[in-house]
Amino acid sequence: MNRPRPRFRPGLLVLAGALLLAPVAPSLASAATAAEAAGAAGAAAPPAVVPAWTPAPPTPSTTPMNPTPTPTTGPPYPTDYPTPTPTPTTALRCSATWRLVSDWPGAFHAEVTVRNTGTSPMARWAVRLTLPEGQGVSDIWSATLASTIDGVVTIGNAEWNGRIAPGASTAFGMIGTGPATAPTLSCIAV
């Protein structure tokens, strides 16, 4: 019994064959080139390699091309330098306190005590008195008047009481005019 043969158009058959061979065409082309080279050299042609599977393209990496360098753990400078000894900040310090001895209408007698609160002996000292409104200084003893500017009176040590040991004190007296209100005091040790 003769069966009728299916009819194919020649163009469709070629197209179907091309679609089937498209994934392996690059491998066949490289195998054909290798066979031609081997035949020209007189050797037997290697068998054609047809891959059964085409690998997927590589996935892009998330690692940067130039990663940030990891810092070293050692110090960036030599460590054999000696550590400087800090200078004590309390070497030269003093305090001044005001005490009202007596007062009368329009004037007063006060005493100012200067104490060395530092750790070194003081060679000289000065006390600044910021006087309240209407107050003035008319006389001082055991000290010298250095300056009077806009209600600020600066009084320095006498020749004999400038040197004060740590923890020790000296005093000077003054006669003031005006109200017997305590001025604002600040002490300067030299």
**Which CATH number does the domain housing residue 177 bear?**
2.60.40.290
In 53-93, DSSP assigns E strands to: none
Same domain for 184 and 105: yes
Structural domain count of the chain: 2
Same domain for 34 and 104: no
User: Rounded mean pLDDT of the chain?
Assistant: 78
Same domain for 99 and 26: no
0.95 surpassed by pTM: no
What local confidence, expressed as pLDDT, does residue 15 receive?
A: 46
Q: Is residue 111 part of a domain?
A: yes
Same domain for 99 and 183: yes
Cβ of 96: how many Cβ atoms within 10 Å?
A: 22
Residue keyed to tokens 């923890």: 167
Same domain for 183 and 116: yes
Same domain for 104 and 20: no
Q: Is residue 106 part of a domain?
A: yes
Give residue-wise pLDDT tens across range 39-94.
555 555 555 555 565 666 666 666 666 666 665 665 555 555 555 665 555 799 99
Contacts 24+ apart (CB under 8 A), 93-96: 93/117, 93/118, 93/189, 94/118, 94/122, 94/125, 94/164, 94/187, 94/188, 94/189, 95/187, 96/127, 96/185, 96/186, 96/187
Domain assignment of residue 170, given as a range: 94-189
How far apart are alpha carbons 153 and 131 in whole angstroms?
Answer: 8
Residue 184 predicted with pLDDT over 90: yes
Q: Read off the pLDDT band of 16 (50, 70, 90).
A: very low
Residue 144 predicted with pLDDT over 80: yes
